[in-house]
Structure 1
């Protein structure tokens, strides 16, 4: 079964000190993902082809404190 298109907005506590580590972890799940971080606000946008649960499990394993997860519309207008 192919991985779905997914677009998430994550709120991560203490992102500023671990921003590079987080991006590396996300890219290990989906090397082609588009990742935008805003360390000052603790926000991460990630868009790609991955299972949401797999992405969140990876971050939990690395002890990232995920404050909020929001699924967003994909840029093409289709739901994720």
Structure 2
């Protein structure tokens, strides 16, 4: 994942929004499913722990432009809704 993160960081001027992507099937856990397709600014605390976030996790993320978000009808989410007070996934 480090290579993906490095590439995403290189393009933050044009793609500052990162979308959480999971493989949405019977094996997907509730933790990942509720993050699926959510978009967070690259500086959001949720990205302090990049996918995969647990054993067997098949999640990843992709970088988006603001125009790309608008074209897909996506809105910005807050990582605070998905993290405990001490920063652990909830």
Shared fold (TM-score greater than 0.5)? no
Which protein shows a greater Rg? 2
TM-score normalised by structure 1 residue count: 0.29
The structure whose RCO (Cα within 8 Å, separation 6+) is larger is: 1
TM-score normalised by structure 2 residue count: 0.27
